[in-house]
Amino acid sequence: MTPTDFSHYLTTFLAEYLPAHRNMSPHTIRAYRDTFVLFLRYCRDVRGLKMEAVTVQVITATLITDFLAYLEQERHCSAATRNQRLAALHAFFRYVQIEAPEAMRECQRILLIPTKRALRPEVGYLSVEDMAAVLRQPGWETPQGRRDTVLLSLLYDTGARVQELVDLIVRDLRFEIPAQVRLTGKGRKVRIVPLLPQTVKLLHAYLEEQQLLQAGREDQPIFQNRYGAALTRSGIRYLVQKYVEQARDRQLTIPDRVSPHSFRHTKAMHLLESGNPLVVIRNLLGHADVKTTEVYAKADLRMKREALERAASLTPTTKSHDPTWLQNRSLLEWLKAL
């Protein structure tokens, strides 16, 4: 069977173009791959197209639009998920129009398919007291407790994404003053984040215990499971939920839903409440655009407004709630006459 032009372009897009030319991470490439798995299954199961019959000429803007509607209506995907799938498709057809100029017209029609406006969820974060309660849970009595204490402390201290923590290796740490950690984020963008002295002490003691400071172990993952392999995203998610549940038994103000990403939100909100400008927070979190960081400022403004409203309800009031000029009937009549 002769491979189709679609199979050729999709293979080179995922295996060569994204990693070599766009420098995308394996995690992002897997997310793009999953989009095309869903799309091909839709073509086969819903549209009755055989895999070997899917060519670039077959894929039209109408087919893509129908696929996006299928995601929302049949698979009950949110607008945000729908937009993520569309972003992967846009990236692919932006690549195809360069490789196959004869298909440019339909590619550009696909690129004109708009994203849907998605409601941005409220920023969930923990108070200083709640965060401290969670960090106290693992304890320092057992090797696993010491590892988990360091993991949670570093997750909060750096505001790292969970994948950035998974990818962390020994050579990414620097203990000399100024102590810092090198994080590799989305798009393989590297940023340097300073470490607090207390976190440095915890890290150094943990690495010594695990014999990770020895020569030749610079490329070892910092956080390992019992088999010596790096902890996975799901593993870290499990640990966070475990210690959050333990803390919630004693600290009832902890939100119902707390994930590893909540630590990132928490760090940002604590920095903002401490008076740090958005540009500093953006650089720490590794946001490409300060507009992404503005969500924390909006959340902080909303909380301040709610606090003022609560305070206003306790403020002593006079018999009349109207300003004095509204109580002056002759003045009101004169203003109306104008």
Active site includes 304?
no
User: Tokens 């018999």 correspond to what residue?
Assistant: 319
Across 26-59, b (16+ Cβ under 10 Å) vs e yields eebbeebbebbebbeebbeeeeebeeeebebeeb
Alpha-carbon distances of 309 from 94, 138, 306, 315, rounded to whole Å: 50, 38, 5, 10
For 236, residues 6+ apart whose C-beta sits below 8 A from its C-beta are 151, 155, 162, 165, 166, 223, 260
Asked whether the beta carbons of 244 and 134 are under 8 A apart, the reply is yes
For 288, residues 6+ apart whose C-beta sits below 8 A from its C-beta are 186, 189
Active site includes 186?
yes
CA dist., res. 58 & res. 222, Å (int):
48
Active site includes 161?
yes
- The one catalytic residue in 22, 191, 237, 261 is 261
- The one catalytic residue in 161, 267, 270, 287 is 161
- Residue 101's φ and ψ, nearest 5 degrees, are -55, -25
Asked whether the beta carbons of 160 and 173 are under 8 A apart, the reply is no
- The one catalytic residue in 44, 174, 186, 191 is 186
Helix (H, G, I), strand (E, B) or coil at 72: helix
Active site includes 264?
yes
HEC secondary structure over 258-298: CCHHHHHHHHHHHHHHCCCCHHHHHHHHCCCCHHHHHHHHH
Secondary element (H or E) of residue 232: none
- The one catalytic residue in 264, 267, 270, 282 is 264
As annotated, the active-site residues are: 161, 186, 261, 264
